[in-house]
Chains A and B, each alone.
Chain A
Amino acid sequence: MDITMNAASKVDKPPIRTRPWVASIIIVLGLFLILFGMVSSILSGVANISYETIWNALTNYDVSIDQHTIIRELRLPRALAGALVGAAFAVSGAIIQGMTRNPIADTGLLGINSGAGLALVVVFAFFPAIAFEYIILSSFIGAGLGALLVYGIAYLSKGGLSPLKLVLAGVVVGSLSTGLSQALSLLFQLNYDLAFWSAGGISTADWFQVSVMMPWIIGGLMTAMILSRSITVLSLGEEIAAGLGQRTKLVKALGTIVIMVLAGASVATVGGVSFIGLMVPHIVRFLVGVDYRWIIPCSAVVGAVLVLFADIAAKLIASPYETPLGAVIAVMGVPFFLYLARKERREL
């Protein structure tokens, strides 16, 4: 990594600190860990399963063997959903942090997840028999409204947008939509479901959900990659970006749509999980530097690994009961948040 930094300083350009080598190692290692995590995730659980059984279930599927059915119908979609959702939350966090130039940003903390949650409660209350394809769409709308509200508050506020104000705006938008969700769930008696949903968990993910959300998330991640260069420029500051000829409004609008899709699809599948989008981009930025062309793919990989292993922990901690995924992640995320609150510096 020192070599690349020296090279950058020789060229005498404005130093965008970046370490492609580290990033490449992270991506390769991460992909390997994702594979390892998915296998571990399939192995872990109440029913005992061996490596051979996994192989057989994939290559030589036999419906009459229970373990094959468990692998194909329960554990594999769950592992896939975990990886996808982890990547989606992490990348949406990276985009928000880059666009708002704000270190303490995450779809959970900014109330975007609870906006999606509110939309889901509305759908459950008024159209209980609706299919997942449409549920996921309503979740996009909810996430979008949450994001617009938070941005709106930030945009209209005096003296611009400090990290504290953004977080506070997120807290209010979050508690407003949670309040509305709770009121609705009381009126329609969805209370218990809502509690499980807001705790976050992948245990209910099935093939159908995975097949519906996968194209959205992969599309979102690819769009994020296309935008990554512009987000790097935007993260230098809006004036600089505009000075470099960037259409900042367009980039921001597209970025918001990506966030909406990624967060919305994830929330519809696993519920409200915070902190992934806060932690992962910070760790990645620390390792690979400030170029979003590397931050975004690395965040996707690291986020997937994080959620895969957190979900395994969620299965094992209080086995045979499931611990909510959101709580497992929060155990790591809260100290991280505290650390950022202590630093209290803009460093993007």
Chain B
Amino acid sequence: MSTTLFNPMRRKRSIKLVIFFFAVLVALFIISLNVGRYSITPMEVLQTLFGNGSKKQNIVLFDLRLPRMIIAVLMGMGLAISGAVLQGISRNALSDPGILGISSGAGLAVLLFVSFYPSNTLAPPFLMPFLALIGAGATAVLIYLLSYKKGHGISPTRLLLTGIAVGAGLSAVSIILTLQLSPRNFEFVVTWQMGSLWGSNWKFVIALLPWIVILLPIVYWKSKILNMLSMNEHIAESLGVSIHRERLLLLAAAVGLAAASVAIGGGIGFVGLLGPHIARRLVGPQHQYMLPITAAVGALLVLIGDTIGRSFMEYTEIPAGIVISLLGGPYFIYLIMRAKA
């Protein structure tokens, strides 16, 4: 066991891959910066970044594209890590904040706010993650309670089915609320639900950043506990892990990450599923190696989704969430086919 847990080869490979993904991310970032209605060449991007751009280039880069892409990266990391944690603690490789209905809960809370205070389309950005957290947290508690059975604890299958059911209920409620919105708010809410990163500005970056910066290290710090939890409850217990407390703490972190990401970027599915899976294929299931790769893959996915969505059509954008579900859906199908239960 110890050879697989602290494998220097894997460690090296993990570090190499993190560096590789970071390089890809930077390259993609620069490519993505020049994609859009107003095209800027990579050289001009670099010039502008170092302070030598024209006024228009400055506005496009610093006020429009840069914040949007930073949000894409941050929320990609948040969703992917949230998925990894959920998969670990539920011991089911098909868990994901979207499929478990946690994202819908976050979305519903934001939607409720928009429909009760229709005068301002957007809540103050910093407030959005907290609203979403209430919704996501309540949903997570509800799912946990509903799938708990006395004497049996929580079976991974029941947890997923309950999550899907609760998610279906929440989206029915959202539909009722959305249809009662004014056309202007309706457009905003619908595109936001599809996971567009529209209207991103620095305020949103600042609203999202602390959540990611605080919660990601906490999860990483707990990666060995995640390893134990994801193997078997009994093994974890016999190794002296107080399961309930640790699981609750990790669940809270996962919910927080998902809530903040959804509040700022909208409902983007499949990232929490794909990130951890790709990472596991690359470096194996040990969380201390797999989590950084998961974050990197998640960031890449959302950034790619957003870039494709922006460059697809001249006059309109396809929200990143749609692009990602079209890319991620087939992969998920493949995962379902391989899964045993």
Residues in A lying within 8 Å of B, measured CB to CB? 104, 109, 153, 156-159, 162-165, 167-169, 171-173, 175-176, 179-180, 182-183, 186-187, 191-192, 195-196, 198-199, 274-275, 321, 323-324, 326-327, 330-331, 333-334, 337-338, 340-342, 344
- Closest chain A residue to B146 by CB distance? A338
* 13 additional contacts (CB under 8 A) given A327-B173, A341-B147: A164-B160, A165-B336, A168-B99, A176-B330, A331-B172, A333-B168, A334-B168, A334-B172, A337-B164, A337-B165, A341-B158, A344-B158, A344-B161
Contact of A175 with B168 in the complex, beta carbons under 8 Å:
no
Q: Is the pair A195, B341 in contact by a Cβ cutoff of 8 Å?
A: no
Other-chain residue from B175, B186, B191 in contact with A199 (beta carbon distance below 8 A): B175
Q: Are B339 and A342 in contact (CB under 8 A)?
A: no
Interchain CA distance A327-B191 in the complex, whole Å: 21
* Chain B contact residue count (CB 8 A cutoff): 49
**CB-CB under 8 A for A153 and B146, given A163-B161, A324-B179:** no
Q: Once the chains are docked, how many angstroms separate the CA of A334 from the CA of B166?
A: 7
Residues of B within 8 A of A167 (CB): 161, 164
Q: Is the CB of B176 within 8 A of A327?
A: yes
Cβ–Cβ < 8 Å partners of B166 in chain A? 334, 338
Min CB distance B334 to A, Å, is 9
Distance of A199 Cα from B177 Cα, bound (Å): 11
Q: Which residues of A contact B339 (CB under 8 A)?
A: 157-159, 165
> A157 — which chain B residues lie within 8 A by C-beta?
336-339
Known pairs A191-B187, A195-B190, A324-B179; A338 contacts B162 (CB<8 A): yes
B227 within 8 A of A: no
Query: Which of B16-24, B39-47, B113-121, B321-329 is the contact stretch?
Result: B321-329
Q: Give the secondary structure class of B's interface.
A: helix
Q: Are B269 and A175 in contact (CB under 8 A)?
A: yes
Give bound CA distance, A104 to B257, whole Å: 31
Of the candidates B99, B183, B269, B340, the one whose C-beta lies within 8 Å of that of A159 is: B340
B239 within 8 Å of A by Cβ? no
Which residues of chain B are near A341, meaning CB under 8 Å?
146-147, 158, 161-162, 164-165
* Segment 299-338 of B: residues with Cβ below 8 Å from A: 313, 316-319, 321-322, 325-326, 329-330, 332-333, 336-338
Question: A87 vs B330: C-alpha distance in the bound complex, in angstroms?
Answer: 33
Q: List 30 A-B contacts (CB under 8 A).
A: A153-B337, A156-B337, A157-B338, A157-B339, A164-B161, A165-B339, A167-B161, A168-B332, A168-B336, A175-B269, A176-B325, A183-B318, A183-B326, A186-B191, A186-B322, A187-B316, A192-B183, A323-B176, A326-B175, A327-B176, A330-B168, A330-B169, A331-B172, A334-B166, A337-B164, A338-B146, A341-B147, A341-B161, A341-B162, A344-B155
CB–CB A168/B179 < 8 A? no
Contact residues in B for A180 (Cβ distance below 8 Å): 322, 326
Does the CB pair B175–A327 fall under 8 Å?
yes
Residues of B within 8 A of A191 (CB): 187, 190
- Give the distance to chain A from B195, nearest Cβ to Cβ, in Å: 10
Minimum distance in angstroms from B103 CB to a CB of chain A: 12
Contact of B165 among A169, A175, A338 (CB under 8 A): A338
Q: Which residues of A have CB within 8 Å of B313?
A: 187
Contacts of B155 in A (CB 8 A): 344
CB of B316 within 8 A of CB of A186, answer: yes
Chain B: minimal CB distance from A252 (Å): 19
Q: Out of B169, B325, B338, B341, which one reaches A162, CB within 8 Å?
A: B341
Cα of A289 to Cα of B183 in the assembled complex, Å: 49
B145 to chain A, nearest CB (A): 11
Q: Which residues between 186 and 231 of chain B lie within 8 Å of chain A, taking CB atoms?
A: 186-187, 190-191, 194
Q: Whole-angstrom distance from the CB of A108 to the nearest CB of chain B?
A: 8
